[in-house]
Structures are given as structure tokens and as C-alpha cells.
Chains A and B, each alone.
Chain A
């Protein structure tokens, strides 16, 4: 079974703080990590390999330093990694990112399953998975919380929905995105860390994967960010005082005035 995992290197947003005076992000010392949802994707790929045999390859698009994220994936146990990196890829939105990923994955040959996390914590769009699936021309299943069984040419999974879950049968090859319920990612092994340390990450450029520069990066992105600003501070805030009884009375009165009760 040939499995590809798409990962993304992201700033650890739980470490991002706001400078309340200037309303800007404080990024100093914020570490780069593998997008947490992609950790579940890596783990699921490794478990599939353990059950069905085959090979797991982790890929990412990013600047040269994104190789570090791929090395972490190797430390967890993936067999091979590929970095899609080119100055022409910089500034890509979800469409242009999906274009590069789909070109790169096609270039790598046949596959059975592509797995990614449901979304990345820096952008939270959840769009690169389905867009890449569409461009690869394979079926897509979002929010997979369990892989029930894998047959020849087909697979059955549980997909989380807003009101519960669906049991979905899909043809292979397929692209799935996974949620955190699916597994508990393993820690890197010592052997894996050693392998990662000496690994030279294979890098493919736009030319290598046959990507047209007009569709890559900022140039190929339909969307442009035109303005960045701090969120509006919340309106009136009030700390209540008095006994608990008095405070609850006050809240009850306010809620009644606003017809919330």
C-alpha cells in the first residue's frame, strides 16, 4: 500500500501572544511545529503500513526550513519525504498550494491513499485537502475519525458530521483528512531520530514537478490579502460586585432587559 501524508509546518499558535498596546502579534521565540492535525495523519499512515504493509511518504510545500518538519516525520517512522520548494511557491493561497501539492504528488507516481489533517492551525481553512483531491482527480472524504476496513480498491471509514457521523465507503485511490479522535500519535523513536539527523531531504522545484509558474505562489493565487488588522475589542465589559446573590440578581436583570431570558 502506497500512502502519502501531506503535512504543514506552522507557527505554534498556542505560543503566539498579542502585544495589547500595539495590537500586534508577538512572534519572537514562537517555535515552528508540525501542524497538530497532521500528526494524526502521520500516525494513521504508519498504522495502515503496519497492518497492510507498504510505504509511507510525507510531503510538504514550503521554504527550505520546512525540511525540519519532514525530518520530524521521519523520526516518527515515515519511510521517505519530499519537499516541494521554490521561490515561485511563496505567497500561495489554498488554490495555488493545492496546485503544487497535486502536481508534486502526481509526479511521485501511483498511490493508494493520501492523508492530511483536517485543517492547519495557522489558517484554519480546511480547504487544501479537498482542493488537492479535486486536482488529483480522486475521491475525497473529510473529517475521518476511524478507518474501519481496507479492501482491494475500496475502503470504509467513519466521517464526523455536525450531528453525528456517517459510515462512508470510498473507492481507492482516495484523499482523506483526519480528526483528532482517530488515534494517539506516537513519539519519535531513537532510531527514527538518528535516521532523521543524517537525512538529506529531497527537494523538488516548480520545474521538477512540471508546475507552471503562473499557477504557483502569489501569482497563481486567486485571493489576495488586502488588509490585516487586530480584532475589534469587545464592547462594554463589566466586573460585577457584591454578594453572589446580588451579582446573580444583577445579571438576571440585564438578561431580562436584553430579552435573553
Chain B
């Protein structure tokens, strides 16, 4: 595949130069020139008003895999200490839609120990089949054993799609499975769909710190694999009358486990994982001091939400790093995000701008945070927050 410029049609408008997300187009001799940084994404093809840019040879890649042999949508159903992760249920909700569009079955892969009685919950949330690998050796997450189970199941049953949560666990071992299966993996998808023409999975994700969106496909490889963050997809309401098959998977202890978890430490005060919170109250440097930052904690408590922070507030030492939202912290997608004393640096916006409702409180009416705020309050946080705390407290009785 390659992208070519027709010099007779190029008008030197340079639209393509600024459109290219990879900086791979230069002007040479008054015409657009595609450099070797080109990834053949086709953004310039769409952007050129003069149809001077073409993408050629798309059919040239030979299909090495018999794609029709791959059927069914799979979800890796992550659990912690026997409790099914909320992202797994969200993925079953999305997986159900994809499976219905493909007129195929939805299966869950459930790995752990003492978890078998939870398999019916996965069926209630949309799975037709649950593969349960329940073994004492699988109690703790282990890159080697978890990837061995999923890889061998996928090799045996040949699913066309595998979805997993973009959690610490998923991001650690799912790429190993993709590497082994020689297939594509798309991280942190924010939208999934089926291309009606080809049947391929359309995987859309943000790139360049959320500045652009890219839709990615794996046309000639199976399974098509994708990870999705917490809260991006919607859970289906559980239906306990749904019927499904629970299939026991025997775990062979012959897997060479080269790493071993000696101890797991849950951090004190870390009662809410911010990636899973429905409501987040976050503060930035504009809070001014550790003492003032307590207002953030108080409001979060009143709303039953979690505390978030910008890198600035974390660097000041007002709150631990595990609360940091943004490109170097966590990406969150709650129903409500209250940003107090946060100016809205692009790295912070990248981590929270897909929240459903955003309320921003800032003294500066031109602060960039207002560009993503559903409701903007211009004012001093020290004045606004106490009033909010009082009012919301009254409302919640």
C-alpha cells in the first residue's frame, strides 16, 4: 500500500501538510511530497479537495489467514478476589451488540480461583458461553499463566474478536496474547462497531494525547483484539432468566510461571479506584494549599464520589499520585466531573474530557477548562466550594 500525489492535480494549497497527523508531507518543488514517515493512514486523501492524492494497492496484501474459520465474540472477564470487574460487565454489554450484528455468539473467558459460581452473572449480563478456568494456581494474576490460558483457548476455538479491559491486568498480559497469535491489538478504544461491508471490527481510539481520533482495523488477521477503559461502554441490565453454557477449562500446571506475586498491598485510604467512580471531584493548583484541598475531599464525600487531582496538585504533595487524572495519570470517564481550581492543561483534558457532565469552577473566565465544561462557574473556589458543599448536603438530606 502507498499514498501517491498526482503532480498535475496538486495546487500547492498545503492543506494535506497540515492535515497529516504524522508530519509526513512536505512541499518539494511546489508540490506535495510524501516522505517515509507516511503510515498510509489516508487522512490526506480525504482532506485533498482536488483529488490529487490517492491510496493505492489496498487489495495487494494477501490474506494469510482463513478469516471465515473465526467465529464469535469473546470478552476477557477480569475479576479481583472473586468479584467480577465492572469493566468486564460493560464489555459484555458492548460485546452483545457486536455479536448480534455479526449474528454470532458472545463468550466470556473467566480466569481465577473459587469463581465458578459467578459465571452465571456473566450469562445474565449477555454471555452465551462462559469458559471458566478455576484453579488454585490461577488465584493471583500472572502474566504467564493468564496469557497461556487465553492463548490456548483462542487457538482452539478461533474467536473473531477478543475484548478486554484496559486495566493494569489487561494492559499487561493481553499484548502478550496478541504477540503470540500474530494479530492486531488496539489499545483504549472509545468506540467499537462492525463495518457492514467487510464485517471487520472498526476500532476507534484517541491518539496524540486525545488531539485526534483514529479508526483502526485488522483486515487480514484474527482474532481482532481491542482493550477498552472503564466506563466507556455501557453495562446491559442483568437478565437472570438468560440461558447459557458454562464450560470448565482445565488448567495445566505445566505452564512455566516465571514471575510470582509475593505480596499484594492495597494502598491505605484508596477506597475508591478513580477509574471506576461515577462522580469525581478534582482539584488543581488553584486550590492553593493542602488545607484548602480538603474542600475537594469534603465535596467528594458529600456526593459519594472519588477525589481526583491534576499533576500540579500531586506535585505539591496535596494528594497521592494514585488520584492523578490526565495523560501521566489515569484516564477517567465518570458521569459527573467537578473541576475546581483547574486551568485545563491539554494533558489534564486528555484524561477527563469524555466525562458525561463536567462542571468547572475557575477565577479566570478564559481558562481552557471552560472549553470542555458543560457548566462553567467563574468564581473563587474558596467561595464556591463551601456553598456547593452546604447545598448538596441539604439536597442529599
* B-binding residues in A (CB < 8 A): 11, 13-14, 16, 18-19, 22, 24-27, 30, 36, 63, 87, 90-91, 93-95, 98, 121-135, 138-143, 156, 160-171, 174, 180-181, 218-219, 221-231, 234-240, 244-245, 247-252, 254-256, 258, 260-261
Most buried by B among A87, A123, A132, A237: A237
Contact of A166 among B18, B265, B358 (CB under 8 A): B265
Residues of B with C-beta under 8 A to A133: 176
Question: Which residue of chain A is the closest to B334 with respect to CB atoms?
Answer: A260
Q: Are A95 and B376 in touch, CB under 8 angstroms?
A: no
With contacts A121-B327, A160-B168, A165-B265 taken as known, whether A171 is within 8 angstroms of B259 at the C-beta atoms is yes
Could you tell me the distance between the alpha carbons of A123 and B216 in the complex, rounded to whole angstroms?
13
Binds A, one of B33-41, B154-162, B283-291: B33-41
Binds A, one of B96-104, B129-137, B204-212: B204-212
Contact of A247 among B36, B171, B377 (CB under 8 A): B377
**Which residues of B301-333 are within 8 A (CB) of A?**
303, 321, 327-328
Residues of A with C-beta under 8 A to B1: 218, 224
B303 to chain A, nearest CB (A): 7
Question: Which residue of chain B is the closest to A28 with respect to CB atoms?
Answer: B18
Interface string of B356-390 (1 = CB under 8 A from A): 01110000010000111111111100011001100
Q: Are B61 and A219 in touch, CB under 8 angstroms?
A: yes
Question: Which residue of chain A is the closest to B172 with respect to CB atoms?
Answer: A142
Interface string of B108-131 (1 = CB under 8 A from A): 000000000000000000000000
In order of increasing CB-CB distance, the 6 nearest A-B pairs are A222-B184, A223-B184, A139-B258, A130-B175, A222-B221, A134-B179
Q: Are A260 and B182 in touch, CB under 8 angstroms?
A: no
Q: Are A134 and B175 in touch, CB under 8 angstroms?
A: yes
B218 to chain A, nearest CB (A): 5
With contacts A161-B168, A244-B379 taken as known, whether A131 is within 8 angstroms of B176 at the C-beta atoms is yes
Contact of A14 among B171, B279, B346 (CB under 8 A): B346
Q: Are A94 and B395 in touch, CB under 8 angstroms?
A: no
Residues of B with C-beta under 8 A to A124: 187-188, 206-207, 209, 327
With contacts A124-B188, A142-B172, A249-B391 taken as known, whether A235 is within 8 angstroms of B379 at the C-beta atoms is no
Q: Are B267 and A165 in touch, CB under 8 angstroms?
A: yes
Q: Tell me, yes or no, whether B260 is within 8 Å of chain A by CB.
A: yes
Could you tell me the distance between the alpha carbons of A174 and B259 in the complex, rounded to whole angstroms?
9
Most buried by A among B23, B167, B260, B279: B260
Residues of A with C-beta under 8 A to B39: 90-91, 218, 225
Q: List 15 A-B contacts (CB under 8 A).
A: A11-B208, A87-B36, A124-B206, A128-B175, A130-B172, A139-B259, A162-B275, A166-B261, A167-B262, A174-B259, A225-B216, A226-B215, A230-B212, A250-B375, A258-B357
Q: Are A25 and B259 in touch, CB under 8 angstroms?
A: no
Residues of A with C-beta under 8 A to B258: 138-139, 170-171, 174
A/B pair count, beta carbons within 8 Å: 284
Question: Which residue of chain A is the closest to B392 with respect to CB atoms?
Answer: A261
Residues of B with C-beta under 8 A to A134: 147, 175-176, 179-180
Could you tell me the distance between the alpha carbons of A162 and B346 in the complex, rounded to whole angstroms?
24
Could you tell me the distance between the alpha carbons of A77 and B334 in the complex, rounded to whole angstroms?
43
Q: Are A227 and B172 in touch, CB under 8 angstroms?
A: no
Q: Are A26 and B357 in touch, CB under 8 angstroms?
A: no
Q: Are B217 and A122 in touch, CB under 8 angstroms?
A: no
Contact of B208 among A13, A171, A236 (CB under 8 A): A13
Question: Which residue of chain A is the closest to B266 with respect to CB atoms?
Answer: A164
Could you tell me the distance between the alpha carbons of A93 and B207 in the complex, rounded to whole angstroms?
13
Contact of A231 among B206, B270, B346, B392 (CB under 8 A): B206
* A-binding residues in B (CB < 8 A): 1, 15, 18-19, 21, 23, 36-43, 46, 61, 80, 143-144, 147, 167-169, 171-176, 178-180, 182-188, 202, 206-221, 258-267, 270, 273, 275, 279, 303, 321, 327-328, 335-336, 346-347, 353, 357-359, 365, 370-379, 383-384, 387-388, 391-392, 395-396
Q: Are A218 and B40 in touch, CB under 8 angstroms?
A: yes
Q: Are A140 and B357 in touch, CB under 8 angstroms?
A: no
Identify whether the interface residues of A are mostly helix, strand, loop, or mixed.
Answer: mixed
A13-B211, A122-B207, A227-B42 known, 5 other contacts, Cβ within 8 Å: A14-B346, A134-B175, A138-B258, A162-B275, A226-B41
Could you tell me the distance between the alpha carbons of A251 and B218 in the complex, rounded to whole angstroms?
44
With contacts A163-B80, A225-B41 taken as known, whether A260 is within 8 angstroms of B357 at the C-beta atoms is yes
A111 to chain B, nearest CB (A): 15
Residues of A with C-beta under 8 A to B353: 231, 234
Q: Are A98 and B375 in touch, CB under 8 angstroms?
A: no
Q: Are A90 and B184 in touch, CB under 8 angstroms?
A: no
Contact of B185 among A26, A91, A94, A135 (CB under 8 A): A94
Most buried by A among B210, B336, B387: B387
Residues of B with C-beta under 8 A to A13: 208-209, 211, 327, 346
Question: Which residue of chain A is the closest to B271 with respect to CB atoms?
Answer: A163
Residues of B with C-beta under 8 A to A164: 264-267, 270
Q: Are B208 and A142 in touch, CB under 8 angstroms?
A: no
With contacts A25-B212, A63-B36, A139-B258 taken as known, whether A235 is within 8 angstroms of B263 at the C-beta atoms is no
Could you tell me the distance between the alpha carbons of A130 and B225 in the complex, rounded to whole angstroms?
15
Q: Are A248 and B209 in touch, CB under 8 angstroms?
A: no
Could you tell me the distance between the alpha carbons of A168 and B395 in the complex, rounded to whole angstroms?
47
B245 to chain A, nearest CB (A): 30
Q: Are B218 and A223 in touch, CB under 8 angstroms?
A: yes
Most buried by A among B37, B172, B188, B279: B172
Residues of B with C-beta under 8 A to A139: 143-144, 258-259
A123 to chain B, nearest CB (A): 6
Q: Are A156 and B262 in touch, CB under 8 angstroms?
A: yes
With contacts A222-B183, A226-B215, A227-B215 taken as known, whether A236 is within 8 angstroms of B374 at the C-beta atoms is yes
Could you tell me the distance between the alpha carbons of A231 and B353 in the complex, rounded to whole angstroms?
10
Most buried by A among B265, B370, B375: B375
A250 to chain B, nearest CB (A): 8
